[in-house]
Structure 1
Amino acid sequence: MKPSVPVVRRGSALASQLGLSDRILATSADRSLAKSIDAGLDRVEEGLLREVRFADAIADVTTRYLLNAGGKRVRPMLTLLTAHLGDGVTDEVITAAQAIEITHLASLYHDDVMDDADKRRGVPSAQTVWGNSVAILAGDLLFARASQLMAGLGEGAIRLQADTFERLVLGQLHETVGPNPEDDPVEHYINVLADKTGSLIAAAAQAGIIFSNAPSAFERPIVEFGERIGVAFQLIDDVIDLSQQPEETGKVPGTDLHAGVVTLPLLRLRELALTDAGAADLLARLQEHVLGTPLPAADGDPALRAAAVAQSAALVDELREHAVTASTLAEAHSWARNAVAALAPLPDGSVKKALTRFADTIVERSS
């Protein structure tokens, strides 16, 4: 089966097309930096198209499926940006950026299976097209290809890839199993985000330092920045999951909740429900009709699905408008501010300014 998917438009200013470069690198003083990153992203994109290819027909079409569906290429952009603290966009930096983006791509296949997600990047998720087993194996193939790219960069790159992959898996495991009785649920959740999202964003930022031969003293601040902005990124995703605009997010509102995935607004609602009757009532209705309750299949009874979607949408609306969602937004902004604070040891200049704007863009996004 070869479904039709939209192919992201590519050109000489890919970052601008994706709506990031203009916001992050807009001043005239930073123009050369923006030009270098745009050129580097073109090279990354060309490399992704080349590397995500397999001689086997089914492997080829499945592994390129989500690549062709688009993506903002946030992680490669961060690698290219931090590389300007050193020698700039070297061949090694390009290879590392490609490997990290392929790792991210692989994780999406697995995440969608774990979450039973219907859509990803505005198209049907891979497992809805080919089934869970094929989607998992496509992700495995992509992880293998990313590891091959990193192996070409030496032992340090292999270690970076292995450590990051370990954290990705541990984060997913801890999310799946949940906190122990003695654990604080919110603290446990933040640690999951740091592993599942922060680790890969931190690796992207660190790779730019390592493979551009930038001073090693920059690694720790950059890793801390990446970890913290990764948590902020995911907290914003928790809010986006409640969005009324699925045409922008590419997801049905409440997708994570229907899949039984705990998010920070839900955790905060559970805390509040211990002392607030209104919160307890909303929580009870969410648990009965949304949390861990998949919507009826799209090819089933239309009336039944329409009723379930309407009920779900109303409850998701209530959660989105509740104070716990505003609290989640505030926490995301706090993590972003702390990420920027970690950059204090870096030299002032275009890269530091751009990283600060990068943090702002992360918490202001709507999809």
Structure 2
Amino acid sequence: MNARLEGVLLGAVRTADPAMSTMAAVLLRRGGKRLRPTLLRRCAELGDADDDIALRAAAVVELLHVASLHHDDVMDEASIRRGGSSANALWGDETAALVGTHIMARATALLAGLPPDVVASVADTTFVVCTGQLRETEHAYDLDLDLDTYIDILRMKTASLFELPCRIGAMLAGLEPSQVDAVARYGSNLGIAFQLIDDLLDFEGETTALGKPTGTDLDRGIYSYPVLFALREPTGATLRERLGASETVGAAAELVRASGAPTATGELAREYSDRADRKLDLFPDTAARSALRALTDLVIARDR
């Protein structure tokens, strides 16, 4: 499916405008984990899905994800994505946003030929992702953001794009509603674990391994789980002072690292990955279920 998927992705963003075709293909050609299409494929293998329809649906989900990266980078003023210059760094914010919108439009064009329940799921998820992005922006520099609210935001902004391919794959496989729900919850929990590891790696990872700079969220006032956890520790008052002075972001990061927050974040990520695994107990021990369980281990272990 991998080679076929790449062909569908690149073909989908190709247009009569050579410049737009080139720009839209930049992130796609850099590859990435292709985790969401893999989730859809594995969930589809839990039943009996049509390969061509599953391929088309997988391309839709990946295009939506890539479009969201373009828009995220504009909002975040990011300069690096997938190991190279971001679209906004290459062509400016306005062009990068337009390219992201083009990719989303091409995803919609592919979506038009899929079953109505799949179309409805994609529409619902797109709304949820946008709402999550808005809520994150509303809480920028919010030192009093509680941990539960943070988890709710990442459930919308990140985990929903893990839940979606799992739900679609299960629906295309012809699974029972209770099974579709279990698979969707698997994806949501996995997405939360994924983002928590991302939060952790923002303090412990290397830019070269991650494909993007570390520490950028802290610098622009997007306080992730380790930061919010550290603010509730004994050194929280000092951390508040450091976060109020932009020139001491590095010192703030050191306080977060010393607080035990990275360890707590990793433990919570493992808890969510375990929740994801338990949702698969509903299914017989098949190669597809084993592959999904292997993905939870991969998410927890990545770049560490």
Give the TM-score taking structure 1 as reference length: 0.77
Does residue 75 of the first structure (1) align with residue 41 of the second (2)?
no
1:334 alignment counterpart = 271
1:347 equivalenced with 2:304 (yes/no): no
Runs of 4+ in 1 over 4 A off after TM superposition: 311-315
CA contact (8 A) 2:34 2:62 kept: yes
The residue number in structure 2 matching 1:224 is 185
SS at match of 2:203: coil
Partners of 1:197 and 1:137 in 2: CA distance: 22
> Which position in structure 1 is the counterpart of 2:200?
239
1:131 maps to 2:92: yes
What's the CA shift string for 1:93-116, capped at 9, x where partnerless? Answer: 000000000000000001111111
Contact 2:147 / 2:228 at 8 angstroms: preserved in 1? yes
Q: Is contact 2:60–2:111 with CA below 8 Å preserved after alignment?
A: yes
CA shift at 1:313, angstroms? 4.8
CA distance in 2, matches of 1:197, 1:332: 14
Which residue number in structure 1 is paired with residue 239 of structure 2?
Answer: 282
Superposition CA RMSD, Å: 2.0
Paired amino acid for 2:292: L
Q: How does 1:196-275 map onto structure 2 within 5 Å? A: 196-272=157-233
Match of 1:359 in 2: 296
CA contact (8 A) 2:139 2:145 kept: no
> CA contact under 8 A between 1:90 and 1:211: conserved in structure 2?
no
| CA positional deviation for 1:42 | 2.1
Q: Secondary structure at the match of 2:89?
A: helix
* CA displacement at 1:220 relative to structure 2: 0.5
Distance change >3 Å, CA 134–CA 89, structure 1 → 2: same
Q: Which amino acid aligns with 1:249?
A: L
- Deviations along 1:278-335, one digit per CA (max 9) or x if unpaired, are 3322342243136xxxxxxxxxxxxxxxxxxxx6556534423430121111111111
CA contact (8 A) 1:86 1:215 kept: no
State the alpha-carbon separation in 1 of the partners of residues 46 and 119 from structure 2.
22
- What displacement does 1:252 show? 2.2
Which residue number in structure 1 is paired with residue 72 of structure 2? 111
1:20-62, CA deviations, whole angstroms, 9 ceiling, x for partnerless residues? Answer: xxxxxxxxxxxxxxxxxxxx12211221121121211232122
Deviations 1:192-227 (A, max 9, x none): 111111111111111111223334432000000011
The whole-number CA distance in structure 2 between the counterparts of 1:187 and 1:260 is 18
* Partner residue of 2:103 out of 142, 145, 161: 142
Q: Name the SS of the counterpart of 1:229 in structure 2.
A: helix
TM-score using structure 2 length = 0.93
Say whether the 8 Å CA contact 1:209–1:216 is kept in structure 2: no
Residues 236 and 332 in structure 1, CA contact (< 8 A), matched pair in contact too = yes
Q: Does residue 281 of structure 2 align to residue 320 of structure 1? A: no
Moved more, 97-106 or 280-289: 280-289
Please tell me the residue identity of whatever aligns with 2:285. Answer: D
How high is the sequence identity, in percent, across the aligned residues? Answer: 35
Write the letter of the residue equivalent to 1:231: I
Q: Relative to structure 1, is the Cα distance of residues 259 and 68 closer, same or farther in structure 2, using a 3 angstrom cutoff?
A: farther
The structure with more helix, counted as a fraction of residues: 2
Which ranges in structure 2 are unaligned for 5 or more consecutive residues?
A: none
Count of aligned positions:
302
Which one-letter code corresponds to 2:171 in the other structure? I
Distance in 2, matches of 1:123 and 1:220, equals 37
State which structure, 1 or 2, has the greater radius of gyration over its C-alpha atoms. Answer: 1
Shift in CA distance, 287/251, structure 1 to aligned 2, threshold 3 Å: farther
The worse-fitting range, judged by mean Cα deviation, of 238-247 and 218-227 is 238-247
CA distance in 2, matches of 1:63, 1:171: 24
- Which amino acid in the other structure matches residue 290 of structure 2? K
